Each structure stands twice: as C-alpha cells, then as structure tokens.
Structure 1
Amino acid sequence: MSTYDSAMDSGAPLTTHRTLLTGLAGLAAAMGIGRFAFTPLLPLMQADGLALSQGAWLAGANYLGYLLGALACIAWNPAPRRAARAGLAAVAVSTLGMALAPPFVAGLGLRFAAGAASAFVLVGISAWALAVLASQQRTDAAGGVYAGVGVGMVVAGLAAMGVGLAGQPATTGWWLLGGVAAAVTAWSWPTLRPEASRQAAPAAARAAFPRSALTLVACYGAFGFGYILPATFLPAAARELVADPAVFGWTWPIFGAAAAVSTLLGGVLLRHLSARVLWAASQMVMAAGVLLPAFAPHSIAALIGSAVCIGGTFMVATMAGLQEARRVAGAAAPRLMAAMTAAFGTGQLIGPLLVGAGDAGASAWPTAALAAVLLVASSAALLMRSKPGAPSRQPADRWSPR
C-alpha cells in the first residue's frame, strides 16, 4: 500500500492540490465527456446517417438519465465519494459502449446510463470537494474544481474535431473519449476511497433542507432549461452554415474554454459578491447568448458569440448555485444539491424534446425566447432575496465528506 493510501485510510486530511485535481478530473470525465461529448460528436454522427430527430432523442435520453440519477441521490443519499466512484466507472463503460456503434435503441440506453452516472458524479464531487475546501478555508478555490467541466468539453471538442478532420467515423471519437474517462476513473479511485468511519452518515441522511431553499431549486430548474438548446445543438447548427469541420468544430472547444476560464474568474468574484448575485448575473448574460442565434440564424459570428456567452456563464452559475446550497442547507447540502440537480435535469430534458417533436428551425425562436424569459425571471427571483455586494460566507461543516 502506498504512503498516500495509508494516509487516506488513517484519516489524514487531503491537500487542497489533490482535492482540486481530483475534482477537476472527475467533473471533466463525468460532465465534459459523459454529458457533453455527444454534442461535438453529433455532427459526425449525422454525417454517418443519424437524423437530427434521433439526435434529439439521444440527447433527451441522457437528460432523462441525469434527472433520474439526481432523484436517486435524493432518495438514497449516497456517500459523496461512493457516488463519485460509481458514477465515474459507469461513465467510462457507457461511453465505450457508444464506440461499438450500437443500434439506436441500445444507444438510448447507453446515453441514459451516462446521464444518470454524471448526476451521481456531480452531486458526489460537489458535496465532497466543497466540504474539504471549506474545512481548509479555501472555498475561493472551488473554481478550480468546476473548471473541470470546461476542460472536459475542450478535450471532447478537440477530439471530435480531430476525428472529423481525419475523416474518421464518430465511433473513433467515442473510443478515444471512453478511454480518457476510464483513465480518469482509475486515477481518481484511490482519492475517492470512502473513509472507514461512517458515524456522520445517519445525521446527514436525516437532514432536511429548509423550505426557503425551494427558491434555489426552482431557479436552478429554469437555468437547466435556459442553457440546454445551444449546449446541445450549437456544433450541429454551425455545421449547417459551414460544413468544414475545421470551422464548425471550433464552436465546442470555444464553449468549453469559456466554461473553464470563467469558473476560475468566478472563484475570484465570490470573494467580493454573494453566490446569489453571481448566479443571477451569469444567467442574464446567458439569456443574451441564448437569443443571439435566434436573431441571427445564418451568422457563424452569432454562434461563436452564443458559445462565449453561454459557455462563459453556465459553469459559473453551477458553481455559485451549489455554493449557495452549502450555505443555505448545512448538513442537508448533499440532499439540496441533488434536488437542484433534479430540477436542472427536468428543465434540460424539455428543450431537446421540443426540438425533436418538430422542425428545429421553426421551433428555435419560440423556445429560445421562452428560455431567455425564464432566465431573466429566475435572476430577478434570486436578486430579490440577496444582499448585493455581500461576499459568500460558508458555514462550518456540519456533515462528513465521506
């Protein structure tokens, strides 16, 4: 047994560096690949014969899995590290399964499994990493954990672009990204070993978050619906304008790079702004990004602008929202995070199904307008209960990051 493993088994505290790296890598694999690898690979899958309506159903299956995975976290309240471990393993298996070019129905099942697994990882990594950072008085470093989502999206986007430029089928991309997810799972496994002591588990399992937190749940659901259309169909829309993968392929890496950089900036801003204010501001910028392609449907510049606006805010909103959940719920934070994730999953499930139910071009404008309205209304609701300019104050931990 390594010295590091022995230290973990003896209950020695994790370093901030190791916590950040593990959280970043875990979210990169679970979200950047398990959730979002489908987006940059969709144009290649279309070139291989997948219809847009089938793509919408595959996306919907992933979002349904994400929703049910979050609901399972509410019902079972799994130990954060166990949830992260199981989720990462399932992401790797389901991603590699897509590389086998399964029939459409089997693909629905695999994307469903990847969605459920990614919810387990997001809830598990968030609950574990935020608690460890809080115990180290380093909540300002949370941006490094959530930058993992953007990093994973950049990796997935560049891999898909490389596969497209090489003239290879989408299955090659699934093989590559499935291998990356498997490597991350293996590397993260020792750090995410559950602690031997589970004494805090019964109290955490019984904890209930306050009713006032339902505002957070509702706003997080609006956030899920608001960002999902461009987050699903942005590269496919770019491919309709410019068929060259050297051009449309850049939309997703730009989206992911904006997500990664923005979380680091968001961590700095949280020293000066409350999490609610940062969350609300992010959603206002996102609303503008959602509307850009609707106002200029034939402009590649509008798509790039949308990628920057949405990619640069959706993970800041995620980070700020989950930070606020920790502040509000205390011992019930994992359960509130799961409830917010379930609401998010519900919101994001509706968007692709609206597109899949009809013509994408005809449905884009009303859906985008509705998304923007919900984002603005959600921001207003958050600001009504905030104290602008007040930095976030994280309470001392009242539950174990087991």
Structure 2
Amino acid sequence: MSTANRSVILAETPTAGAAVWTALAGLAVAMGIGRFAFTPLLPLMQHDAGLSLVQGGWLATANYLGYLAGAVICIAWPPAPARAIRWGLVSIALFTIGMGLTQQLWPWLALRFVAGAASAFVLIGVSAWVMPVLARLHQSARSGEVFAGVGVGICLAGLTALVAGMTAAGSQATWLGLGVIAASFALALWRPFSSDGVQATSMAGGARAPLTGQAWIAALCYGAFGYGYIIPATFLPALAHEAIRSPAVFGWVWPVFGAAAALSTVLAMRVLPALSSRRLWAYAQLVLGLGVVAPVFAINLTVLLFAALCVGGTFMVITMAGIQEAQRLGGAQPARAMALNTTAFALGQIAGPLTVSLFNGGLKLPSVLAALVLAASSLTLGLTARASARSAESRQQTEIHVIRDAGDARTNPRFEMS
C-alpha cells in the first residue's frame, strides 16, 4: 500500500466513539426492526389480522430464509462493507413500510424474506466495518457497546408495539411507524458509512485458503445456537399474550428482552474480560437453555420475565462471542468465517419455527429439544476450547510465513514462481 493511500485511509478512519455509535445505530435498525420487529407485533397481527401461530411461524421462517440467503451471498460474492450497510438499511426501511400497506399473507412472506436478507448484509457489513477500526485504535473491548445496538433496537421495537397495544393503534400503523423510524436512521447513517476506510479488504480479501476444522466446528455450534434461541425469540410475546390479556402487562416482555440484550454485551466485556470468547459462548448458552425451557413448566408473568432475561441477556453475548471466534479462526479472511457462522445460524433458526409447525403450534416439546441442543453445543465448545486455541495460533503463524515468503518473492529471485 502506498504512503498516499495509507494517509487517505487513516484520514477516513473515524474515532472509536464515532465508530461505536454509528455501528450501534446500524445494528439497532437492522436487527431490532429488520429482524425482530415481527416478534412483538405478532400478538397485534393475531388480533387485528387474524394471523394464526402457525402462520406466524411461516412468516418468521421467511425472514430466516432471507437471512440465510443474505449470508450465502456474502460468502459467494462479498460486497464492500459500506455498500452492504447503506443499501441494506434503505431496503429494511422500504420493506418494513411495505408490511403496513397490506394484510395479505403472501406479500408479507415476500417482504419478510427480503428484510431478512438485508439484515444479514448489515450485520456482516457492520462487523467487518467496525471491528478493524476498534482493533487499529486499540479499543476492541468496546465491541460490547457495538453489539448492544441489537438490544437497543429490540427494546425500541418492543416499546413501539407496547404503545400500539395500549392505544389500539393496530399492527399496520405500527409497521408503518417502524418503517419511518428505519428510514430516518438510514438517511442519517448514509454519510457515516460512506467509506470502507481500513476495512476495505475485510470482506473480500483472502478467500483462497480453506477454513480450518475448528472454524467449521464453531459454525456448527453457532447453528445450534440459532436453533436453540429462536423459539423464545419468536414466540415469547405470543405466550405472554395467551397467559396475560392486558397489553399493558404482557407487552413488557419484549422490551425487557431487548434491555437485557443491550446491557449484556457491555457487562460481559467489563465483568468477564479474561474469559475466552469460546468459553463465554459455552457458559452463556447454558443460561440461554434455562430461559428456553422455563416456560415448559409454567406460563405466568414471573416465568416469562425470567425467560426474557435469560434469553435476552445471553443471545447477543453469544452473537458477539461467535463473531470474535470467527475473526480469530478466520485469520486473514474473518468475514468469510463470519458469513459461514451466519449461514449456520440462519439454518438453525429456520429449523426452529418449522419444528413448532410440525407440532401444530405446540411449544413444549420444541423447547425441550432446543434446550438439549444448546447443552450439547456448550459441551462441544468446552471440549474443543484448547484445540481451537492451537488452531488459531497455527493459522496465524502460517499466515505470517506466507506474508514473509510473498515479500521475499518480490525481492529475491530464488522465491519467484517459474
């Protein structure tokens, strides 16, 4: 890289604080609205659009299929991070507004699919955009603040749905309101995400070397996480609605979920800084499993709030730890490993609502199965922690030697390819 190009990149690199808040806002819109707004709106759509729980499962699955499609595209044709973020946010705004313009199932399915794809683009793009900035500025510990954006977005969507339920605004008006909020953020964030800066090669670079076996094991466990968490993440408000009829009461379950998610990543980075990302992931999944299985034994406000705290307080910690593991195991191609994790996650969360549909909308057996899958994943992560550390160190040394050999080949004829 020339001195002039390096100077331009450094000049375009934001401060740590600006990068954190910009990325936080992007994730809040992409995940809080593009991915999870349907969950707190499901009770409203059941009330005013006659949506059944099985149909709700299909709408959730459509969003997860879109999320899978977006992740696969990011593996096959990696876009520049800034472009993925900007157009992803614009798409989420338009598709969310579209949800409020119809009450037909098939258009809803299409809109939730494309919103899911756009969300995957933004999540992977934001991760590839912000993590190198924080690493360059020696502020990697602030990644917990970045991923708090998902919880902030979930809390915002939950509070919006709570107000809509208390005022009888209806699901269509709520979708339109969330779409306008998403559009406002997309416009405000257009300029901050105008440049890839130091991240220009983070999504597209280094796609030659195959990923290690440990990276594939991590992806498998990440898929198990997607399967395990998605049932409460999709149906908790609906369960609360069945058990507690007052929207002023059951409507708080999703905001509590979001608040727990927002606080969890910040606390994890500050309280457990010495814990490896893999072990943090394993322990958090055990807590998540408790939240998943708790409503099997009783459904009341106390149990549902406990489940919301357990699931909301761990799923973004696991997401953050999974992304950190992908960066560590991916070496020179971290975004490829992140996209692999995201693909596995999407496959897992597609299977969750489908399992509910297979049991005719029943949640007890799917919840028990999800908790068992999470326990098995945690055990796998714990047993492979040392092997994972050795794999990452070996890959790092290999890449250092490759870089040195490449430099020697340019300066020493003995290293030139024939």
Shared fold per TM-score greater than 0.5: yes
- 1:259/1:311 contact within 8 Å kept: yes
Residues 201/98 of structure 1: CA separation in 2 closer, same or farther (3 Å cut)? closer
Give, in angstroms, the shift of residue 230 of structure 1. Answer: 0.5
Alpha-carbon distance in 2 for matches of 1:124, 1:203: 14
Give, in angstroms, the shift of residue 168 of structure 1. Answer: 1.3
3-state SS of 1:331 partner? coil
Give, in angstroms, the shift of residue 253 of structure 1. Answer: 0.1
Q: Deviations over 1:162-218 (max 9, x none)?
A: 011111110111111111111111111112113489678764344543232101100
Residues 82/269 of structure 1: CA separation in 2 closer, same or farther (3 Å cut)? farther
Q: For structure 2, which runs of at least 5 residues remain unmatched after alignment?
A: 1-6, 401-418
Please say which of residues 224-233 and 321-330 is displaced more in the overlay.
Answer: 321-330
| Residue type of the alignment partner of 2:22 | T
Please say which of residues 124-133 and 23-32 is displaced more in the overlay.
Answer: 124-133
Give, in angstroms, the shift of residue 317 of structure 1. Answer: 0.3
Residues 269/387 of structure 1: CA separation in 2 closer, same or farther (3 Å cut)? farther
Verify: 1:252 aligned to 2:251, yes or no.
Answer: no
Task: Specify the alignment match of 1:140 in structure 2.
Answer: 141
Give the structure, 1 or 2, with the largest relative contact order (CA under 8 Å, sep 6 or more).
1
Give, in angstroms, the shift of residue 337 of structure 1. Answer: 0.3
- 1:279/1:321 contact within 8 Å kept: yes
| Residue type of the alignment partner of 2:169 | Q
Verify: 1:333 aligned to 2:334, yes or no.
Answer: yes
Q: Name the TM-score, length of structure 1 as normaliser.
A: 0.91
Residues 8/353 of structure 1: CA separation in 2 closer, same or farther (3 Å cut)? farther
Please say which of residues 286-295 and 96-105 is displaced more in the overlay.
Answer: 96-105
Q: Deviations over 1:54-102 (max 9, x none)?
A: 1111111001111111111111111222211221111111111101124
Task: Specify the alignment match of 1:212 in structure 2.
Answer: 214
Q: How many residues align?
A: 386
Residues 126/269 of structure 1: CA separation in 2 closer, same or farther (3 Å cut)? farther
Task: Specify the alignment match of 2:403 in structure 1.
Answer: none
Give, in angstroms, the shift of residue 287 of structure 1. Answer: 0.5
Alpha-carbon distance in 1 for matches of 2:348, 2:190: 32
Give, in angstroms, the shift of residue 365 of structure 1. Answer: 2.1
Give, in angstroms, the shift of residue 52 of structure 1. Answer: 1.6
Residues 288/332 of structure 1: CA separation in 2 closer, same or farther (3 Å cut)? same
Question: Aligned-pair RMSD on alpha carbons?
Answer: 2.3
Task: Specify the alignment match of 1:288 in structure 2.
Answer: 290
3-state SS of 1:150 partner? helix
3-state SS of 1:313 partner? helix
Verify: 1:28 aligned to 2:19, yes or no.
Answer: no
Q: Name the TM-score, length of structure 2 as normaliser.
A: 0.87
3-state SS of 1:360 partner? coil
Alpha-carbon distance in 1 for matches of 2:214, 2:361: 38
- 2:203/2:335 contact within 8 Å kept: no
Task: Specify the alignment match of 1:384 in structure 2.
Answer: 383
Structure with bigger gyration radius:
2
Task: Specify the alignment match of 2:189 in structure 1.
Answer: 188
Task: Specify the alignment match of 1:4 in structure 2.
Answer: none
3-state SS of 2:71 partner? helix
Alpha-carbon distance in 2 for matches of 1:370, 1:382: 19
Give, in angstroms, the shift of residue 28 of structure 1. Answer: 0.4
Residues 269/381 of structure 1: CA separation in 2 closer, same or farther (3 Å cut)? farther
Task: Specify the alignment match of 1:170 in structure 2.
Answer: 171
Task: Specify the alignment match of 2:41 in structure 1.
Answer: 41
Task: Specify the alignment match of 1:368 in structure 2.
Answer: 367
Residues 365/307 of structure 1: CA separation in 2 closer, same or farther (3 Å cut)? same
Task: Specify the alignment match of 1:122 in structure 2.
Answer: 123
Task: Specify the alignment match of 2:412 in structure 1.
Answer: none
- 1:30/1:122 contact within 8 Å kept: yes
Any residues of structure 2 matched to 1:1-400 within 5 Å, and which? 11-48=11-48, 49-195=50-196, 203-206=205-208, 208-269=210-271, 271-296=273-298, 298-361=299-362, 364-386=363-385
| Residue type of the alignment partner of 1:113 | V
Give, in angstroms, the shift of residue 344 of structure 1. Answer: 0.3
- 1:209/1:333 contact within 8 Å kept: no
- 1:143/1:264 contact within 8 Å kept: yes
Q: For structure 1, which runs of at least 5 residues remain unmatched after alignment?
A: 1-6
3-state SS of 1:137 partner? coil
